[in-house]
Amino acid sequence: MLLIPAIDIKDGQCVRLRQGDLTSNISVFNPDPVEQARQWVELGAERIHIVDLDAAKSGKPVNLPIIRKIAKQFGQDVSIEVGGGMRTCDRVGEVLDAGVNYVIIGTAAVKEPGFLHDVCSEFSGDSVIVSLDAKDGIVMTDGWTKSTGHTAVELAKKFETYGISSILYTDISRDGMLTGCNVEATAELARNISIPVIASGGIRDLEDIRQLLAVESDGVTMAILGRSLYERTLDFSEALDLVNQYERGNE
């Protein structure tokens, strides 16, 4: 199980949202995202999850200089995945050229599968993660305001044929709420596809990590950790220790 600390960047600062709300419920946890990345790297992170919230809203690479700096300083030590505003091949290219390993495509993949196909053709599909945000199992788009009418399983089965690296699955009712991960839905998705699933949304404490480890064999091989780390309901070092103990016990 790969545990991935999240850094959401808005107005140049490391923030966290509740249920993706960009207008309120925004908490600033570190004015310097580069320093925050350093902290996670020093604690043993192997991958960092970055979302450019300003780019998600505007489509413009607002925080690309910060992302480039993080990649330059820590790219030899960790892999970096970035989401937010991935709506054109040029934008994807800019981010990958900045030293990022993976781009995360959400609404644009769902609404314009032709665009996703173009990205996977122009760049390596291995560098593409598709983000599926679901409410009651139905994928939502446009900042979680519009229903696609399709289940996460339906869309994930379709997109895995494009050669993407993994699916990032978020239960939006739990995102940023510290109410526990929807392990059952995440595992059900993973069992229906052959590529890895990244769990996201609501992870609170070590018990959530234990529950995710129990379904790792189903294909849930990674998890995004956000507010739980910043509000210290979950200690990253303890979570890494738990994962290492589990892996040693299953050797």
Marked catalytic residue, from 8, 52, 171, 175:
8
Task: For residue 205, indicate whether it is catalytic.
Answer: no
Record the tokens describing residue 48, joined without a space.
């960092």
Q: In sequence order, which residues have a C-beta less than 8 Å from that of residue 117 and are 6 or more positions away?
A: 162
Contact 71, 108 (CB under 8 A): no
Marked catalytic residue, from 52, 133, 171, 175:
133
Please, what is the angle between helix 33-43 and helix 64-74, to 10°? Answer: 30
DSSP secondary structure string for all residues of 74-111: HTTTSEEEEES---SHHHHHHHHHTT-SEEEE-HHHHH
Task: For residue 241, indicate whether it is catalytic.
Answer: no
- Which neighbouring-strand residues pair with 79? 47
Query: Rounded to an integer, what distance in angstroms lies between the CA atom of residue 101 and that of residue 121?
Result: 16
Active site residues: 8, 133
